[in-house]
Amino acid sequence: MQALYPVALFVHVLGVGMLFAGDGVTYAVLKSLRNASTSGQVRVVCGAMRWAGPLHMVGPLMILAGGLYMVATAWGWTTAWIDVALVSFAVASYLGIGVSQKKMKALAGQAAAAPDGPIGADLAAALQDRTMWIVSGVLFVWLAAFLYLMILKPGWTVSIAAMVISTALGWMVGVRNAARTAASVTTTAGVLEG
């Protein structure tokens, strides 16, 4: 069983790379949405999310497959940083699939239904959705926290503190991006419609 450990580690790390790439695409899409001034631009930018989808599907499966194998064969189920990472991974999966993905699909649906031209009030409200921005901020910063846990392998207190601190930082990033988007979209929609 130990002979496959290097393969499991490779699969695990490759999954992390895929997840980073998917989150990079998502972040670029969100940043571009902040600069959109027409419903057509929002549609085009939302279309770029198709590149993140496969990365967000396959990456976590690879992380989980490789990680669970390594835990079962080498680390055990009572290692602090692993337990914190597993619980956080479950929460991240819910936030990514249950919240962020649904918000992005709803936004893309509204953009598809919106008439060509300036961003209307309904689409502007969807672009300004604070939950979408906060969850994206938290998930993006959590990637660094997961790397921290995997590389430094801290005990309980530091592992939990890493996730709490990264959650706070991600929240702040999300709130800041939501505020910037609200100002940008409001200004753009106001100028174009007014």
- pLDDT of res. 194: 42
Considering the chain, what is the average pLDDT of its residues?
A: 91
For the chain, the structural domain boundaries read 2-193
pLDDT, one tens digit per residue, over 48-85 is 998 898 999 999 999 999 999 999 999 999 999 999 99
8 Å CB contact between 65 and 9:
no
Is the pLDDT reported for residue 191 higher than 80? no
pLDDT, one tens digit per residue, over 79-110 is 999 999 999 999 999 999 889 989 999 999 99
How far apart (Å, rounded) are the C-alpha atoms in residues 194 and 190? 5
Tokens of 5: 């450990």
- Comparison of pLDDT for 46 and 186, the residue scoring more: 46
Tokens of 21: 């790439």
As a whole number, mean pLDDT of residues 148-163 equals 97
Contacts of 134 (CB under 8 A, 6+ apart): 170, 171, 174, 175, 178
pLDDT, one tens digit per residue, over 4-47 is 999 999 999 999 999 999 999 998 999 899 889 999 999 999 99
Is the pLDDT reported for residue 193 higher than 60? no
Is the pLDDT reported for residue 1 higher than 70? no
pLDDT, one tens digit per residue, over 117-135 is 999 988 998 999 999 999 9
Please state the pTM of the whole predicted model: 0.88
Q: How confident is the model at residue 192 (pLDDT cuts 50, 70, 90)?
A: very low
How far apart (Å, rounded) are the C-alpha atoms in residues 70 and 60? 15
Is the pLDDT reported for residue 169 higher than 60? yes
